[in-house]
Amino acid sequence: MPVINRVADLVDEVAAWRRDFHEHPELLYEVHRTAGVVADRLKSFGVDEVVTGLGRTGVVGVIKGRSDGSGKVIGLRADMDALPIEEATDVPYKSRTPGLMHACGHDGHTAMLLGAARYLAETRNFDGTAVVIFQPAEEGGAGARAMLDDGVLDRFGVQEVYGLHNMPGIPIGAFAIRPGPMMAAADRFTIHIGGKGGHAARPHECVDPVVVAAHLIQALQTVVARNVDPLESAVVTTGSVKAGDTFNVIPQAATLLGTVRTLTENVRDLCEERIRTLVERLPPAFGAHATIEYNRGYPVTRNDPERTRFMAEVASGVGSAVDAGVAPLMGSEDFSFMLEERPGAYIFLGNGDTAGVHHPAYDFNDAAIPYGVSLWAKIVETGMPAR
């Protein structure tokens, strides 16, 4: 079953919604305009129930099928927030807000789920209930967790939940998915190193925190190289080093910022333990001291095997190809919180040969719209077939 004919008819309208969202990017939980537009459109489609303010600025629409005798409830989720990046495209719908842009395609995700909501509200060719979830603050704000804390799955009786993300490099019309770990857990650390400052020409009278930081950065690379099983996956990256202000002074302190990405809880625990041990024991060898703030962020995005097979089968009927065993990515996604609460799956939708996500030249490819909207519609219609 290819792209749904009615969906093909809606593509230009959905693309116009998407470009409007692109022109008006909003960060984290401050997606007031976007959420307002979403809520207004859902009401105009005749959605049975529209609820706002979940997870601060999230929106939920409830669409009942021709019959709800099955009692089944499927949730579909899209993210709404943008990124603090200055756009470097010349598209006519370029961001109107300096320093903000939809550099990850959440404008497309939101528009496609709206398109699916319109189609489902028109046709209602299913037996059960579809719950469309529009989430704020995916980009580091844990908006999924906030919506869960407000009872988004329990309140609407969602039994299984599905998400998608566009993916540059995958052809338009193609999909990619895998059972089990799909994306990594993302943790972060801040290490404060204290030394003894002084004149750069008299290092013997000082305890140089810059040297300690350099050794610690090197030592952190052994966490993966010499502690994690080579058949497992992990990344430890020091992304920021801050120390001193001038060329001839040994500073008093240095600060390291970094991230840890893992695909299993065992490796996640191991990495945290080894990093804490290095921070505790290495600096004293130089006469310095150090402390660490270690924060666990988004968990592993883990697809339920049965729902993964289902989502892949639906995608194969909609698109040109489905890679059902794609390698996991070490990026992270807060849809993982929802997958911890309900069985479901997360899939990549081809965005074609475009700039990568989080790049200032990125733009969601509108040619992907009919495939994303049809996927959402068919998950509902196939998962809750009308009797």
Identify whether residues 26 and 84 lie together within a single domain.
yes
How many Å apart are CA 110 and CA 38, to the nearest integer?
8
Provide the β-strand partners of residue 176: 323, 348
CATH number for the domain that contains residue 140:
3.40.630.10
Closest CA to 81 of 152, 153, 29, 121: 29
How many Å apart are CA 319 and CA 101, to the nearest integer?
28
Task: Locate 258 and state its tokens.
Answer: 């970094």
pTM for this prediction? 0.95
Identify whether residues 257 and 322 lie together within a single domain.
no
Query: Would you place residue 252 in the very low, low, confident or very high pLDDT band (cuts 50, 70, 90)?
Result: very high
Eight-class DSSP state of 59: E
> Among residues 296, 313, 344, which one ends one of the domains?
296
The tens digit of pLDDT for each residue in 263-275 reads 999 999 999 999 9
Identify whether residues 10 and 142 lie together within a single domain.
yes
| Residues in the chain, total | 387
Task: Locate 277 and state its tokens.
Answer: 């041990």
The tens digit of pLDDT for each residue in 279-321 reads 999 999 999 999 999 999 999 999 999 999 999 999 999 999 9
Q: What is the mean pLDDT of residues 141-168?
A: 98
Provide the β-strand partners of residue 101: 83
Identify whether residues 166 and 197 lie together within a single domain.
no
> Among residues 239, 270, 296, which one ends one of the domains?
296
How many Å apart are CA 130 and CA 116, to the nearest integer?
10
Identify whether residues 45 and 178 lie together within a single domain.
yes
How many Å apart are CA 37 and CA 42, to the nearest integer?
9
CA 352 vs CA 160, 166, 218: distances in Å:
29, 9, 38
Closest CA to 45 of 10, 94, 8: 10
Identify the domain containing residue 343 by its residue range.
5-182+300-383
Q: What is the mean pLDDT of residues 107-122?
A: 98
Query: Would you place residue 70 in the very low, low, confident or very high pLDDT band (cuts 50, 70, 90)?
Result: confident
Query: In terms of DSSP bridges, do strands 129-135 and 249-250 run parallel, antiparallel, or are they unpaired?
Result: unpaired
**Total number of domains in the chain:** 2
Cβ distance 42 to 114 under 8 Å? yes
Mean pLDDT rounded to a whole number for the chain: 97
Query: Would you place residue 2 in the very low, low, confident or very high pLDDT band (cuts 50, 70, 90)?
Result: confident
Eight-class DSSP state of 284: G
Identify whether residues 305 and 272 lie together within a single domain.
no
pLDDT of residue 69 exceeding 90: no
Provide the β-strand partners of residue 78: 134
Order of strands across the sheet that contains 174-176: 49-54, 58-64, 129-135, 73-79, 160-167, 344-350, 174-176, 321-323
Q: What is the mean pLDDT of residues 204-224?
A: 98
Task: Locate 192 and state its tokens.
Answer: 């404060």
Query: In terms of DSSP bridges, do strands 185-194 and 289-296 run parallel, antiparallel, or are they unpaired?
Result: antiparallel
Cβ distance 151 to 258 under 8 Å? no
Phi and psi angles of residue 342, each rounded to the nearest 5 degrees, phi first:
-140, 150
Query: In terms of DSSP bridges, do strands 344-350 and 174-176 run parallel, antiparallel, or are they unpaired?
Result: antiparallel
Identify whether residues 159 and 189 lie together within a single domain.
no
Q: Which residues does 64 contact at the CB level (< 8 Å), separation at least 6? A: 48, 124, 129
Task: Locate 337 and state its tokens.
Answer: 């919180």
CATH number for the domain that contains residue 276:
3.30.70.360
Q: What is the mean pLDDT of residues 177-182?
A: 98
Identify whether residues 120 and 132 lie together within a single domain.
yes
pLDDT of residue 387 exceeding 90: no
Q: What is the mean pLDDT of residues 17-44?
A: 98
Check the CA dihedral 166-118-134-28 and report its sign.
positive
Identify whether residues 129 and 20 lie together within a single domain.
yes
Cβ distance 116 to 77 under 8 Å? no
Q: What is the mean pLDDT of residues 347-376?
A: 98
Q: What is the mean pLDDT of residues 198-220?
A: 98
**124-160: buried (b, 16+ CB within 10 Å) or exposed (e) per residue?**
bebbbbbbbbbbbbbbbbbbbbbbbebebbeebebbb
Identify whether residues 104 and 244 lie together within a single domain.
no
Alpha helices in 141-298 (DSSP H): 143-149, 152-155, 209-227, 265-281
Tell me, what's the pLDDT at 289?
98
Tell me, what's the pLDDT at 230?
96
> Among residues 296, 324, 358, which one ends one of the domains?
296
pLDDT of residue 138 exceeding 60: yes
Q: What is the mean pLDDT of residues 198-222?
A: 98
Alpha helices in 91-200 (DSSP H): 106-123, 143-149, 152-155
How many Å apart are CA 165 and CA 358, to the nearest integer?
13
Tell me, what's the pLDDT at 1?
53
pLDDT of residue 68 exceeding 80: no
Identify whether residues 22 and 80 lie together within a single domain.
yes
Identify whether residues 166 and 309 lie together within a single domain.
yes
